[in-house]
Amino acid sequence: MTPNILMIVTSNSRMGETGNPTGLWAEELAAPYYALVDAGAKVTLASTAGGPAPVDPGSIKPKGENDPVVERFLEDTVLQALVADTSKASDFDGAQFDAVFFPGGHGTMWDLPVDAGVTAAVERAFAANKLIASVCHGAAGLVTAKRPDGRPIVQDLRVNAFTNAEEVAVGLENVVPFMLETRLRELGGQFEGAANWQAFAIHDGPLITGQNPQSSHLVAELLLKALGTDSNA
């Protein structure tokens, strides 16, 4: 069977009250997207608001200077068209997919936690024993979702995301609405992290979570393994 993945990205293009631009992080969309589709998966791209999904300008260098996966994204008219006209997350039932996947980017911190469509997608996927994956700040999509018994999705599960140390390193600890590592710990998640900017990801139960842009492909590989799909197919 062809794995069917719902990938939800941010619609938020501004970093809180600073007004500075943000959005989704290009590598955190491109690396898992291509790993999944190259392995034969079907990926449906959605966002909190629908329509064009903002890409953080800081995640894209001039053409020819990016990592190969970002260069591929910049040349890919099909994926560019999908990003320019996303569906709304609330239009989908997470239980109807094999996995729900959240790429990161600082934009996620403002809209994923408060979007009812995101929360519903995660809760329905969890209740249906489907996989839920995130990269970096994409784990913001997990913080308001609850299990059928009312407990937080992440409670008692090993989990990872952009760490407090990394947030401090980029100087945004006083800009983001909350520290993601701290919130996951407060919700009962068993947070594990690696050194700054090291590729690191965890699979525990239904959750597959990765730390930073460098972890994007690793999260996709763990997801493909969990789906029983050969990433080299």
Query: Which pLDDT belongs to residue 230?
Result: 60
Query: Which pLDDT belongs to residue 229?
Result: 84
DSSP string across 154-179: TTTSEE--S-HHHHHHTT-TTTSSS-
Q: Is the dihedral of CA 180, 122, 10, 99 positive or negative?
A: positive
pTM for this predicted structure: 0.97
Q: Is 32 helix (H, G, I), strand (E, B) or coil?
A: helix
The answer to whether the beta carbons of residues 24 and 134 sit under 8 Å apart is no
Query: Which pLDDT belongs to residue 141?
Result: 98
C-alpha distance from residue 117 to each of 82, 121, 122, 124, 218 (Å): 19, 6, 9, 10, 26
DSSP element (H, E) containing 190: strand 190-191
- Topology annotation, domain 4-226: Rossmann fold (3.40.50)
Sole residue written with tokens 């990926």: 43
pLDDT tens digits in sequence order for the chain, 233 residues long: 899 999 999 999 999 999 999 999 999 999 999 999 999 999 999 999 999 999 999 999 999 999 999 999 999 999 999 999 999 999 999 999 999 999 999 999 999 999 999 999 999 999 999 999 999 999 999 999 999 999 999 999 999 999 999 999 999 999 999 999 999 999 999 999 999 999 999 999 999 999 999 999 999 999 999 999 865 43
Query: Which pLDDT belongs to residue 232?
Result: 46
Calculate the CA 215 to chain-centre distance.
Answer: 11
